[in-house]
Amino acid sequence: MTKIIETTAISKTYKMGAEIVEALKSVTITVNKGEYVAFMGPSGSGKSTLMNIIGCLDSPTTGSYVLNGKDVSDMTENELAEIRNKEIGFVFQTFNLLPRATCLDNVALPLIYAGYNKSDRQEMANQALKNVELGDRVHHKPNELSGGQRQRVAIARALVNNPSIILADEPTGNLDSKTSYGIMELFHELHQKGNTIIMVTHEDDIAHYAHRIIRLRDGLVESDTVNPNPTRGISMMVSE
């Protein structure tokens, strides 16, 4: 199997006044291409810190992190930004959509930084929206959409660059239960198509949609288990 993510004894410490806080302590994990993994843990467990490092939003204090064959542990901010744009599709709890931009323009945004021309951006963004069954909403703005539809736009934006991994941070945190199940069904479909998905959640029922669950506590990996019976939802699609 091809390794997409490989951390070796990574730690992360923060200085808060006179106190040194160890957010992560020697975490070693491997994620292979095509896996669907959930990070779980209570507040202060280190799961958000681990997500930030894997998403190249932060660097480890010690240890190494190899993403898709590249050691990103000691990269500069500019180098990390380039890696983020090429390798990682982010899905956030709060959607992070531009309120005055259309769905099409929101989805096309990463392609601007990647250097695509306008015609290619629009074509790729259109296709990404069709892939999440929002092809009839391309000219709508976020305030004209339901919460589930807004999260679908965010997922389309995450997919538009064909990234190595999709990193979802509490993707159902702002959604009601019925809409959450529709979004989780979409993640299942994306995984079935070969996408590598890493999801951070504190909700046990949401974590069980993943095929592997890594639990963190006090900055350490408490358990790393295969989920033999991943949950399947009912597809809600645009009717959310």
User: Residues for the chain: how many in total?
Assistant: 240
Pick from 226, 211, 222: nearest CA to 37: 211
Q: Which two tokens stand for residue 78?
A: 């500019």
Residue 2 lies in a domain: no
pLDDT of residue 135: 93
pLDDT of residue 93: 86
Residue 65 lies in a domain: no
pLDDT of residue 91: 92
Q: In degrees, to the nearest 5, what angle opens at C-alpha 213 toward C-alphas 209 and 217?
A: 130
Q: 156: alpha, beta or left, given left = phi > 0 and alpha = psi -120 to 50?
A: alpha
Residue 214 lies in a domain: yes
pLDDT of residue 104: 97
For the chain, residues with pLDDT lower than 50 are: 235-240
* CATH number of the domain encompassing residue 217: 3.40.50.300
The mean pLDDT of the chain is: 91
Residue 176 belongs to domain spanning? 34-59+74-239
Residue 177 lies in a domain: yes
Residue 20 lies in a domain: no
Number of domains in the chain: 1
pLDDT of residue 240: 44
- Taking a C-beta distance cutoff of 8 angstroms, is the pair 67, 87 a contact? yes
Is the entire prediction scored with pTM above 0.85?
A: yes
Kindly tell me the sign of the dihedral angle through the C-alpha atoms of 151, 153, 154, 160: positive
pLDDT tens-digit series, residues 41-100: 988 899 999 999 999 999 999 999 999 999 999 899 999 999 998 899 999 888 899 999
pLDDT of residue 233: 59
Residue 159 lies in a domain: yes
**Half-sphere exposure at residue 167, Cβ-oriented, CA atoms within 13 angstroms:** 23
